[in-house]
Amino acid sequence: MVVCLHSPNSLLCVSIEASQTGCDKVIFGGNIKKKASGATMNALVATNRNFKRAAKLLGLDSKLEKSLLIPFREIKVECTIPKDDGTLASFVGFRVQHDNARGPMKGGIRYHPEVDPDEVNALAQLMTWKTAVANIPYGGAKGGIGCNPGELSVSELERLTRVFAQKIHDLIGIHTDVPAPDMGTGPQTMAWILDEYSKFHGYSPAVVTGKPIDLGGSLGRDAATGRGVLFATEALLKEHGKTISGQRFVIQGFGNVGAWAAQLISEQGGKIVAVSDITGAIKNSKGLDIPSLLKHAKEHKGVKGFHGGDPIDPKSILVEDCDILIPAALGGVINRENASDIKSKFIIEAANHPTDPEADEILSKKGVVILPDIFANSGGVTVSYFEWVQNIQGFMWDEEKVNNELKNYMTRGFKDVKEMCKTHNCDLRMGAFTLGVNRVARATVLRGWGA
């Protein structure tokens, strides 16, 4: 049974009926908004604020603006599993399907203790603008389960994923909503979802992307977000008469995105001077040996204890001296409390919504150039699109084709964003938002609302 939670906030004060949302039931649930912790703004408030600024720059009709802001459907499910010791554990799973004007909704599933409805909502909305910026035929969605995957065994994670898939299988599908990995999930998670979905609907590899290659995953998907970050950074630096080679990078997060970005950037001559993950942070002003660090992180489940650098306080990673800062972990990490201490000239947002609007203002006054998430990390969803296309075609591309096509999409995306910056005399974030929102608005108007 689907239950939709309407989460009211100061920027979205509309009354909606179940029939308008496509939900079975809408609960006006009072204030379920996650309280912003410390200096960090609530993710949904921050995302709505950026959307509103873009809508204003575009001169969007206020009724259309309202319709674009309200999510298509919000799903909240209870997931109870027996743990390995026989006791029961209950978790809450979410899937927010934000918009489908341009195609099936698309976005990752996150397993993290901080997953909450407003954050998933914000991430789903960002996916809508991201797929439009990338110009791939999708809408936006995001999901998550509030859990700590590090504290669950593989068999517990499998049971949790299968229960979640059982609860949402009717609402996802090749032409409706196509999940993928995000923080705390990966190819194995997608394999379990595919298997569970197939029990109800028949074998359907295109229902998820980011799958293992043996189940129809695309070559190059694993590295795609990091590779997209590399291509995006190259495009930005070219504008400033620079190349990757010799630039000093700091990377927060050494998971799928951070580790691939570090590897690919260092292969191009970039110097990674500091990285961090949940276990700690490590610094070497001469440049970390990334292949050795990757080996260490794999063997020790984190960067802590790596001998090729000095340990530093993970809290200081974002304000370390460097040319280019790449947040590749959680949202809201760059906020009004640390923005003025940031020393880099460029920030490449590999993570989703790492920078608060308040920090944006502070950084803009300092002349820091920010390449926004909805463009900078779009390489992952772009190769997910290639995977979906390959599954539907029943034909596998070689990795060179995947990477070349990704480069084409990222290069074209950067040009399109810059064009919007010129048209609206705005920064790169608003360039990307106006590009994405405008494309979705056009599709919405063209499809109409029925007679």
Annotated binding site for NAD(+): 225, 256
Q: State how far the alpha carbon of 344 is from the alpha carbons of 250, 318, 323, 340, 400, in Å.
A: 9, 9, 5, 11, 33
- Mention every residue, 6+ apart, whose C-beta is less than 8 A from residue 150: none
Q: Is 182 in the site for ligand AKG (CB under 6 A)?
A: yes
Q: Is 330 in the site for ligand NDP (CB under 6 A)?
A: yes
Q: Is 377 in the site for ligand NDP (CB under 6 A)?
A: yes
Neighbours of 22 (CB within 10 A): 14
Q: Is 279 in the site for ligand NDP (CB under 6 A)?
A: yes
Neighbours of 59 (CB within 10 A): 6
Known catalytic residue at 295: no
Contacting residue, 121, 161, 352, 355, with ligand NDP by CB under 6 A? 352
Query: Which does residue 188 bind out of ligand AKG, ligand NDP, none, counting CB within 5 to 8 angstroms by kind?
Result: none
Contacting residue, 50, 247, 252, 438, with ligand NDP by CB under 6 A? 252
Q: What angle do CA 7, 193, 224 make, to 5 degrees?
A: 85
Do 302 and 293 touch, CB atoms closer than 8 A? Answer: no
Query: Which does residue 107 bind out of ligand AKG, ligand NDP, none, counting CB within 5 to 8 angstroms by kind?
Result: ligand AKG
Query: Which does residue 209 bind out of ligand AKG, ligand NDP, none, counting CB within 5 to 8 angstroms by kind?
Result: ligand AKG
Q: Which of residues 260-319 bind ligand AKG (CB under 6 A)?
A: none
Q: Is 107 in the site for ligand AKG (CB under 6 A)?
A: yes
The token pair at 226 is 């990091």
What is the residue whose two structure tokens read 């075609």? 393
Task: Name the minimum Å distance from CB 16 to ligand NDP.
Answer: 27
Q: Cα separation of 210 and 107, whole Å? A: 11
Amino acid 25 reads K
Q: Which is nearer to ligand AKG, 210 or 436 (CB)?
A: 210
DSSP E strands: which ranges in 213-296?
A: 248-252, 271-277, 280-283
Q: Which of 101, 50, 96 is nearest to 439 (CA)?
A: 101
Q: Cα separation of 421 and 139, whole Å? A: 23
Beta strand pairing call for 177-181 and 105-112: parallel
Contacting residue, 100, 131, 218, 225, with ligand NDP by CB under 6 A? 225
State the burial class of residue 336 (Cβ atoms within 10 Å of its Cβ: 0-12, 13-18, 19+).
Answer: middle
| Span near ligand NDP by CB under 6 A; candidates 82-90, 246-254, 403-411, 420-428 | 246-254
Q: Is 254 in the site for ligand NDP (CB under 6 A)?
A: yes
Q: Cα separation of 447 and 443, whole Å? A: 6
173-212 footprint of ligand NDP as x/- string (CB under 6 A): --------xxxx----------------------------
- Binding site, by residue number, is 106, 130, 225, 256, 384
Contacting residue, 8, 302, 396, 444, with ligand NDP by CB under 6 A? 302
Q: Is 276 in the site for ligand NDP (CB under 6 A)?
A: yes
Number of residues that bind ligand NDP (CB under 6 A): 26
Beta strand pairing call for 105-112 and 26-28: unpaired
Task: Name the minimum Å distance from CB 143 to ligand AKG.
Answer: 9
Q: Is 277 in the site for ligand NDP (CB under 6 A)?
A: yes
Could you tell me the sign of the dihedral formed by the alpha carbons of 92, 198, 377, 268, in that order? positive
Query: Which does residue 106 bind out of ligand NDP, ligand AKG, none, counting CB within 5 to 8 angstroms by kind?
Result: ligand AKG
| Span near ligand AKG by CB under 6 A; candidates 18-26, 27-35, 102-110, 150-158 | 102-110
78-107 footprint of ligand NDP as x/- string (CB under 6 A): ------------------------------
Q: Which is nearer to ligand AKG, 281 or 328 (CB)?
A: 328
What ranges in 71-111 are assigned the alpha helix state H?
none
Q: Which is nearer to ligand AKG, 73 or 296 (CB)?
A: 73
Q: Is 125 in the site for ligand NDP (CB under 6 A)?
A: no
Q: Is 2 helix (H, G, I), strand (E, B) or coil?
A: coil
Q: Is 377 in the site for ligand AKG (CB under 6 A)?
A: yes
Q: Tell me the backbone φ, ψ of residue 328, rounded to 5 degrees.
A: -135, 40
- Catalytic, out of 142, 167, 211, 271: 142
Query: Which does residue 8 bind out of ligand AKG, ligand NDP, none, counting CB within 5 to 8 angstroms by kind?
Result: none
Q: Is 209 in the site for ligand AKG (CB under 6 A)?
A: yes
How would you list the strands of the sheet with 346-348, edge to edge?
310-312, 280-283, 271-277, 248-252, 324-327, 346-348, 369-371
Q: Is 204 helix (H, G, I), strand (E, B) or coil?
A: coil
Contacting residue, 329, 402, 430, 441, with ligand NDP by CB under 6 A? 329
Q: Which residues does the annotation mark as catalytic?
A: 142
Residues binding ligand NDP (CB under 6 A): 181-184, 225, 252-258, 276-279, 302, 314, 328-330, 350-352, 377, 380
